Each structure stands twice: as C-alpha cells, then as structure tokens.
Amino acid sequence: MNAGPKRKEIMTRETVDRVVDWFARSEIPTIDLTGGAPEMIPDFRYFIERVKTLRPSRRVIDRCNLTILLEPGYEGLAQFLARHKVEIIASMPCYTAENVNAQRGQGVFDSSIKALRVLNSLGYGSDLPLHLVYNPVGAFLPGPQAELEADYKRELKNHFGIVFNNLYTITNLPIARFASYLHRNNKLEDYMQLLIDNFNPATVSGLMCRNTISVGWTGEVFDCDFNQMLKMNWRNGNGPLHLWDLDPATVENREILTGNHCFGCTAGTGSSCAGAIV
C-alpha cells in the first residue's frame, strides 16, 4: 500500500466512538485493526478498551509492523496488547535479514526480531496468538503456505529462539506502491498475466470481501482494504456511505465491487487477510 510514518490520516475520537457505537449494534465477532501503523492513532488504546468492554470475548486483531513496539512514545504497548488479549498479526516478509531489510528498510530485521522476543516473553506465540505475514519480494506468487510456515518456524526458532502460531502468505496486489514498482520495472503487464493465468475458481467462496467489511479512517465503508486504496467506496446517494449510516442487518448479500486487481486474490491458492484460501 502507500502507508508510511509520514502519512497524516488520523482517525479522530469522534470517528472512533461512532465506529464502536455501530459495532455495539452488530453481531460481528472480529475487529481487525490495520494501517499504516494503527497503533499511531492517538486513541488506539481507547478504541481497544471500548471494544473489549462491550464484549470481552470479541476477537480484536492488531496488524502490527513490530518495530512500532520499540519506538519512543510506545512504551508499554506490547504489555497493553497482551493484557487485553489482542491477537497480533505481524509483517515479516522473510526469516533472513537481507530480504526483510530489502523490503522494509535497513535495520528493520533486527528490530523485528527484538520485538518478537518481547512478544514471546509476554506469552505471544504460546498463550496468546501471534501470526506472521509473508508476501513475496518481487513479481511472483507466494510459495505453498504450509511449507513456508515450516521453514519460518525452523529458522526463527533455531537462530533466534522465536516461536509463533501461523504464517499467512499474502499475494501482492497490482495497486498502489507495488503497481508503481511493477510499472517502473516494466513488469505490470506480465504480472497481471501471471495472476490471470493462475486464476483458481476454488478460491472465490473464501474471498475476504465475502465475510469482511473495511472501514476507512473517516468511517467510509469498502469491500476490502484494496478497494479502500482504490477509493471504490460504498455509496449513499451521491456521496460515500459511512459506517454509522449502514444498517448492520443489510451487510450480508451485498454486491461486491470488483476490478482487475481482484485477480490477485484468486491466483493460485488464493490470498486473504488470513493468508492462502485453499
């Protein structure tokens, strides 16, 4: 995506309250917080406390870049997440320093390892759920998820003593920053063809847009994060639809907005926010 620490979008307290109030009216069992770095929202902890107070058994997920846990100003964040039993899904593009630093920047691998050790010491990877996310560093599809997970587990345990629960393999969609990379390297057409050639109809019933809705930082509603990036929002007359104007009972059986980027979710074993689909 085009996320990064210099982005200015911040969900306000008013929007947080309106989102949580809507959530309270619904039976949706999971709230999945992503960014950028969702922890940078000033009301991040307030958000989680409110959601957990509503119904402690509800599943709350933090999509964490790991390095934020070590940044000044975020002291106690890992402990806060553990205390509220927040599930962590962390980006870790590889188990080697070379590949992680190439994709995320110099020094990110060492910081990620340090953060994973902190999480393990709090019970993540054993008593609390900790999952890692792999996405290819280049214009190719991810390898088989189970095999890669076994590699990650072996390497991270043997070299760093780190444990985690599951690895999710996620295909790069040809939008935003990755589309610019493909375009610059004259690979956009070939990558689109690769996705189309690998279309797998068995993935369609498990697409994340079929059981998830995506809510932007201003409360606008989308079918998924990718559609959010492409500004393909649900409409309310001539304007965007905000979550608080949506009747929770009407979320099911809606029509999903699709485009060529959707081939990224249906290629090979498929790709969703929980990794491979089939």
Residues that bind ligand SF4 (CB under 6 A): 207-209, 223-224, 226-227, 256, 258, 261-262, 265
Contacts of 36 (CB under 8 A, 6+ apart): 3, 4, 5, 7, 9
Find out whether 125 and 204 touch, Cβ atoms under 8 Å: no
CB of 258 to ligand SF4, least distance (A): 5
Burial 12-45 (b: 16+ CB within 10 A, else e): eeebbebbbebbeeeeeeebbbbbbbbbbbebbe
Considering the complex, state which of residue 39 and residue 223 has its C-beta at the smaller distance from ligand SF4. 223
Least distance in Å: CB of 68 to ligand SF4? 25
Q: Which is nearer to ligand SF4, 227 or 269 (CB)?
A: 227
Beta strand extents in 101-222 (DSSP E only): 130-134, 166-169, 214-215, 221-222
**Which residues, 6 or more positions from 10, have their beta carbon under 8 angstroms from its beta carbon?**
40, 41, 42, 217
| The two structure tokens encoding residue 184 | 């610059």
The smaller minimum CB distance to ligand SF4, of residues 108 and 209, is found at 209
Q: Which is nearer to ligand SF4, 153 or 261 (CB)?
A: 261
Which CB atom, from 152 or from 263, has the smaller least distance to ligand SF4?
263
- When the beta carbons of 108 and 224 are compared against ligand SF4, the nearer one is 224
Establish how many alpha carbons lie within 13 A of residue 163's alpha carbon, considering only the half-sphere containing its beta carbon.
Answer: 11
CB of 170 to ligand SF4, least distance (A): 11
Query: How many Cα atoms sit within 13 Å of 240 on the Cβ side?
Result: 16
Min separation Cβ 37 and ligand SF4, Å: 22
Q: 130 by DSSP, 3-state: which?
A: strand
Residue 24 C-alpha from the chain's centroid: 22
Tell me the closest approach of the beta carbon of residue 236 to ligand SF4, in angstroms.
19
- Output the smallest distance, CB 208 to ligand SF4, in A: 5
